[in-house]
């Protein structure tokens, strides 16, 4: 009858060892509160970027290419006349493609001509001049103005205050959770940043009119998000 007593003693020893090792495991995985903090800042853009294109059709590849080169030359002269330095514009796409017709009797698609096209991307460092430059490009013969975007070039510096505000926002949230769960915050364990500025305005003007261009840069909202983990400890009684 001694065997059952030995079995009970063995089980007690097993459970006793488990309970003793639990605090050690907890020390390897400190408790924490992890929250996200957010902050926004608005700033006027100081850089605009647009691209201007021109296309020409002709019966031969040479005629189309020559006409397109001459037309783009006028566009580049218009940019120079508007005060845009050469370093701020560059060719972004150049193409020469055959144009096909249709022979109803045979069903074939013969080449009936060629289309040459050229696009140039322009950086404008004075956003107040965007509308005037678009008008100058259209007046020089550009027949496709598009992909207008505005940017805050010093976004990272402008976000420094927002970063501090985001951390403060994260602490505010963490303190709410700590109070609700009956603990106090300790030292921060980790901090990571997420989020990125997003351009406020993008548009495409596929067929610009001769009326003066109306462009509104507005303001760009820059956002920053931080994820912060704080160690927590029990409140002192």
- Can you give the pLDDT at residue 35? 94
Closest to 46 measured CA to CA, from 123, 126, 122, 121: 126
pLDDT digits (tens, 9 = 90+) for 196-218: 544 333 434 444 444 555 666 66
Closest to 37 measured CA to CA, from 225, 229, 220: 225
- Can you give the pLDDT at residue 44? 87
pTM of the predicted model as reported, rounded to 2 decimal places:
0.60
- Can you give the pLDDT at residue 168? 95
Residue 3: how many other CB atoms lie within 10 Å: 6
Q: In the predicted model, what is the mean pLDDT of residues 209-228?
A: 72
pLDDT digits (tens, 9 = 90+) for 118-168: 999 999 999 999 999 999 999 999 988 888 888 888 888 888 889 999 999
Q: Which two tokens stand for residue 1?
A: 């009858």
pLDDT tops 60 at residue 117: yes
């Amino acid at each position: 009858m001694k065997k059952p007593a030995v079995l009970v003693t063995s089980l007690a020893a097993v459970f006793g060892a488990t309970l003793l090792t639990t605090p050690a495991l907890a020390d390897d995985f400190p408790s924490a509160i992890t929250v996200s903090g957010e902050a926004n800042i608005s700033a006027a853009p100081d850089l605009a970027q647009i691209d201007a294109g021109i296309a020409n059709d002709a019966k031969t590849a040479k005629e189309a290419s020559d006409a397109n080169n001459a037309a783009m030359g006028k566009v580049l002269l218009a940019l120079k006349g508007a005060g845009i330095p050469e370093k701020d514009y560059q060719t972004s796409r150049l193409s020469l493609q055959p144009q096909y017709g249709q022979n109803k009797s045979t069903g074939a698609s013969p080449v009936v001509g060629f289309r040459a096209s050229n696009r140039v991307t322009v950086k404008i460092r004075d956003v107040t001049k965007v509308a005037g430059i678009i008008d100058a490009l259209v007046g020089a013969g550009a027949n496709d103005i598009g992909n207008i975007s505005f940017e805050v070039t010093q976004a990272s510096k402008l976000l420094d205050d927002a970063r501090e505000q985001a951390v403060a926002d994260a602490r505010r949230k963490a303190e709410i959770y700590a109070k609700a769960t009956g603990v106090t915050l300790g030292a921060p364990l980790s901090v990571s940043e997420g989020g990125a500025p997003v351009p406020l305005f993008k548009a495409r003007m596929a067929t610009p009119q001769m009326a003066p261009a109306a462009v509104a840069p507005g303001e760009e909202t820059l956002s920053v998000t931080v994820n912060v983990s704080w160690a927590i400890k029990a409140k002192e009684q």
